[in-house]
Amino acid sequence: MKTQTYVLLFAVLTMAACQPKTETAPVGIAAVEDAVTAVVDNYHKGVCAGNVNDIKPLLEDKGLYCGTDPIELWDKETVLNLMTEGMADSSYAYDYSIDKRITRVAADGKTALVLDQTTIKALSKKIPIRFIFHLVKTNENWKIDFLSCSFIPKNEDIVKLDLALE
């Protein structure tokens, strides 16, 4: 009986010891933050310069891109076409700078979320806009696979806005 117990114990220990070790390399979060910040900054520079060709390579082909209106849910091709049309209108000056940025990187370093807030006077002089970017690492490049652009009125202005819309 003792022999069988030792054999069984030896077999269990051997199987446990032979399991593949899965170690994940530590992720340099600061380097990932720098990389995704560069992508998002390049997006904003492209918008401010009115250059859709600078924006195109930053977007994931199968991404979802949301505008400020509830019906504005676009794929890459549609959002680029609309940007081209919008940027051709010289009466709009998309000149803005980011007032606030928050970046969150996933623990595995393969996805990131960037929140940017600004006011784009061509769209509204009083209501700030919030961009929410989700980025994924594809091969060695970072791509925006989700973007939501929303007006964010101050809480105390919501009643005024509701009254104005009646």
Span 54-72, mean pLDDT? 96
Q: Cβ of 89: how many Cβ atoms within 10 Å?
A: 9
pLDDT of residue 123: 87
Q: Could you give the strand order of the β-sheet that contains 111-118, starting from the edge strand earlier in sequence?
A: 73-74, 59-66, 141-151, 129-138, 111-118, 100-105
Tell whether the model's pLDDT for residue 4 goes beyond 70: no
Return the higher-pLDDT residue of 94 and 43: 43
pLDDT of residue 5: 58
pLDDT of residue 28: 86
Burial, 46: exposed, middle or buried (Cβ in 10 Å; 0-12, 13-18, 19+)?
buried
Residue whose structure tokens are 């991404």: 63
Rounded CA gap, 145 and 90, in Å? 28
Tell whether the model's pLDDT for residue 71 goes beyond 90: yes
Return the higher-pLDDT residue of 29 and 111: 111
pLDDT of residue 65: 98
The share of the chain scoring above pLDDT 70, in percent, equals 84
CA neighbor of 141 nearest in space, from 69, 61, 85: 61
CA Rg value for the chain: 24
Contact call for residues 63 and 145 (beta carbons, < 8 A)? yes
H/E stretch holding 36 = helix 29-49
Tell whether the model's pLDDT for residue 14 goes beyond 90: no
pTM (2 d.p.): 0.81
Q: What share of the chain is helix, strand, coil (3-state, %, to 5)?
A: 40, 25, 35
Q: What domains does the chain contain, in order, with CATH numbers?
A: 28-164 (3.10.450.50)
Give the tens place of pLDDT for each residue, 83-135.
999 888 877 778 899 999 999 999 999 999 999 999 998 889 999 999 999 99
